[in-house]
Amino acid sequence: MGQEPVKLYRANPFRIAGLVAGVMALGGAVWWGSASHRTPPIAQQAAVAVPASPVVAGASTVLPTTAATPSPAVAVPSFDIVRVNPQGNAVIAGRAAPGAEVSVQQNGQEIGRATADQQGQFVVLPATPIAAGAQELTLSARSGDQPAVSASAPVIVLVPALAIAQTAAPAPPLAAALVILTPL
C-alpha cells in the first residue's frame, strides 16, 4: 500500500485563452448592462437640495450632506462654419447656449443676428456682403438677463477685391475667400 504517484497534466494554452476571453466577455457584458456608468442628460438630473443653514449635530432634523451643484457654465459662442464667396456673401454657423441671441460683428459692427435653437446651433446669413480685404469676424451671445459673452477666438476672413468694370472677354474664375482662425 504505497502512495500513488501524483500525475501532472500539461495545461492546454487554448483552454486557458478561451477561459480568459470568456471571463472578460462576461465582465464586459455586466459592465455594459449596468446603468451606473451612464449619466443622464443634464435636463433630467434632479435638483439637489442644499440647506440654507449648516446642520448642527444633535439637532432633531438632520439633512443628508450633499455637494452644492455648480452653477451652469455659460456657453461661450463659437464658430463652426464660416463660408464667404468671392462677392462677399457669407454663411456663418456655430454654437451658443440654447435660446441665446447671437450677434456676428465685422470689425466691431454688427452684420447679422440669430437665435440659437434647442441644441445651441445657429446660422447667420448677413444681409450685406462682407467688404473686400481682411476682415475680423467676432461673436457675442446674450441669454436672458445675463451679460453678453464673447467668443474666445475671432475669425479672419480675406475677401478678394473684384474688378468693377466687366470686359467683353469672360473673366477667369475668381479665387475663393480665405478664412483664418486665430488662436489665443
59 inside domain:
no
Q: Which residue, chain included where needed, has cell 443653514?
A: 53
Per-run averaged pLDDT (10 residues), the chain, 184 residues? 69 75 73 56 48 46 43 73 90 92 92 93 92 90 87 86 58 64 66
70 inside domain:
no
Task: Look up the domain containing 131 and give its range.
Answer: 78-163
**Residue 45: predicted pLDDT:** 46
Query: Per the structure, how many domains does the chain have?
Result: 1
26 inside domain:
no
6 inside domain:
no
90 inside domain:
yes
**Residue 73: predicted pLDDT:** 56
98 inside domain:
yes
103 inside domain:
yes
110 inside domain:
yes
Residue 112 belongs to domain with CATH number: 2.60.40.10
**Residue 46: predicted pLDDT:** 47
Q: Give the C-alpha separation, 45 to 175, whole Å.
A: 50
**Residue 147: predicted pLDDT:** 86
**Residue 159: predicted pLDDT:** 87
